[in-house]
Amino acid sequence: MEDFIREIQDFRYLNWSDTKLSPGTPGCFLKAYEEQNGQRFYYKLSNYDSYRGVFGHECINELIVSRLLEILQIPHLHYQLLHALICIDGKEMDTYITRSKNFRKEDERKMPFEVFYDLHRQQAESPLDFFIRMGWSAYLYQMLTIDYLICNRDRHGANIEILIDGEDQARPAPLFDQGISLLFSCYGNIESIRKYDILEDKAVNNFIGSKSSEYNLRFIPKGLHWFDGRLREHDREKLLSGLDGVLHAEHLEKIWNMLWKRWERYVQICGEE
């Protein structure tokens, strides 16, 4: 499936009634869904408010991060970026939205990790130690790595989900919801993009580990490979393919520089080759 449809599509029929608020970000993130041939599809909008309309680019970040996860061969929810005509409160707008498929199996139900942790933790057991005890170390180290690379600011306890089947066997859901990352706080402003420090260790909203994504790399055992892919300089083309004109050229270049420099820093800290 093509991961970016640049030709504008008519999605005015979608009902954007599901609202998600994220701490520290103005506006809100609207969601919608539909059923097609027995398959549920979920749609997300970038940051929005009733006065400015869509003013964020989190949906584009989701596509870039999805491509990065593909390169690194880390299991994740695949996002498709769509150029869309939508309608909210009777107002039509031309924007970009993401589409994804339901990742649950038929017999599975989902639970936020923060709830699952409270139900099953041992006394005084940290979320990080709990995750390791459950046998989910590889998932944990992959998540800490990607959250550092993209400077994910929003890995709260509900942005990690646990899937539970009919026999009460639990597994972590594929990584999802990584739009509040990269240069999201610049909102496309060129001066802000130019001033943005791509290696700054910004405070993050993590449920597991510390509020420093760089410090969290120190929880990862050194010298071991927790995923099969590696970021290479030639991956720039794949990561940013088709996005010329969707984001400003300086914005795209800064995103690549951020990912590459953070990858080099990750290799230095974790002893990767």
Per-residue pLDDT tens over the stretch 17-41:
766 555 445 557 899 999 988 889 9
Is pLDDT at 270 greater than 90 in this prediction?
Answer: yes
> Cα-flanking dihedrals φ and ψ of residue 149, to 5°?
-60, -40
Instruction: Write the DSSP symbol of residue 169.
Output: -
If one looks up domain 109-270 in CATH, what number appears? 1.10.1070.20
- pLDDT digit string, tens, across residues 152-161: 999 999 999 9
Query: How many CB atoms lie under 10 A from the CB of residue 70?
Result: 16
| Residues 140-182 pLDDT 10s | 999 999 999 999 999 999 999 999 999 999 999 999 999 999 9
Contact 25, 64 (CB under 8 A): no
- Position 54 scores a pLDDT of 92
Q: What is the mean pLDDT of residues 220-235?
A: 94
CA proximity to 155, closest of 229, 100, 207 = 207
In the three-class reduction of DSSP (H, G, I as helix; E, B as strand; rest coil), residue 246 is classed as: coil
**pTM of the predicted structure, to 2 decimals:** 0.94
Q: Is the per-residue pLDDT at 48 higher than 90?
A: yes
Q: Is the dihedral of CA 210, 201, 185, 79 positive or negative?
A: negative
